[in-house]
Structure 1
Amino acid sequence: MSENPLADPLALENQVCFALSLASRSVIAAYKPVLEPLGLTHPQYLVMLTLWEHEPLSIKELSGLLHLDPGTVSPLVKRIESLGYVQRSRSASDERTLEIVLTQKGRDAREVALEVPKEMMRRLDMDARELAGLHASMKKVIEAALRAPN
């Protein structure tokens, strides 16, 4: 941001939306080579993070946790399934529901993924405390944006 953000409230470099957009694209691009050993894209990595924490999940549950449309999540799951990390099976409690569960390969991938946050801290030249502060600020922005009237 410029030294005086009030000098031109429409200046691109003064826009929070621009900074957030650029930060998002830049960080996701930085993840790409780090996720290569897992064969995952960033959106697929987010699916795996969610499954490592909450499996088994239905597409609907997974979509809710990721704040994504089921039509977006379903192809991600199919691609991850083709990598051998997950399988879809009928729920024992409701056969109409497909559950996504980790395979042994998917569980084993978690061990490799434990290095991802460390490598990202190195690549971003930020320590855990700095990232925690950034995360807290981002959550505050997200919550405020979700509360904003449409």
Structure 2
Amino acid sequence: MTNAEDPLLLDIQLCFALYSASLQMTKLYKPLLNEISLTYPQYVTMLSLWETDGVTVGALGKRLFLDSGTLTPLLKRLEAASLVTRTRNAKDERQVMIRLTLKGRALKQKAACIPQQVGARGGLSISEFLTLRKTLKKLRAALAA
């Protein structure tokens, strides 16, 4: 078998392309998120809450593809930073509701420039970006099925 025929070459693995791109994306976000005192998982949590405030932990976990074992400590840290509150649902005490605080809502303004800064470094046209995002969502859905 020639090197070109080897199915285990690292550079032809989709998983490695996704993994290494994700590492680079996280490195790009880190200094931007440090300015607003968030980690990347906290940032995507806040993005989701800025989109839809007042959700259950379960709904938030589903939206972010995170289990409660990962999400609960993250939410505790956001609560300690006074960005969110966690309260039991009065109608169903098994559910914990997550709501933004005034400080959490105000942070949205500080974060507003981050997507543009990241996009400027991405090296993709708008069309390429939209195609890539659509393809990755399709891949994610297929893998989850």
Q: 1:70 aligns with which of 58, 68, 71?
A: 68
Residue 32 of structure 1 is matched in structure 2 by: 30
Q: Give how far 1:10 is off.
A: 1.4
3-state SS in 2 of match to 1:88 = strand
**Counterpart in 1 of 2:55?**
57
| Structure 1 position 44 matched with structure 2 position 38 | no
Q: Which secondary structure does the structure 2 equivalent of 1:10 belong to?
A: coil
Residue identity over aligned pairs, in percent, reads 40
Partner of 1:125: 123
Q: What TM-score do the two structures reach when normalised by structure 2?
A: 0.90
Q: 1:110-149 counterparts in 2 under 5 A?
A: 110-147=108-145
Q: What CA deviation, in whole Å up to 9, does each residue of 1:98-144 have, x standing for no partner?
A: 21100011101111111110010122233433322211111121122
Write the distance in 1 (CA, Å) between the matches of 2:137 and 2:11. 22
> 64-73 vs 6-15, which deviates more?
6-15
Q: Distance in 2 between matches of 1:105 and 1:130?
A: 36
Number of residue pairs the alignment of both structures matches: 143
Question: Which residue type is aligned with residue 139 of structure 1?
Answer: K
Q: CA deviation at 1:92?
A: 3.5
1:15 and 2:22 equivalent?
Answer: no
CA RMSD of aligned residues (A): 1.7
Answer yes or no: is the 8 Å Cα contact 1:121–1:127 preserved in 2: no
Aligned to 1:99: 97
How many angstroms apart in 1 are the aligned matches of 2:14 and 2:94?
44
Q: Point out where structure 1 has 5 or more consecutive residues left out of the alignment.
A: none
* Unmatched segments (≥5 aa) in structure 2: none
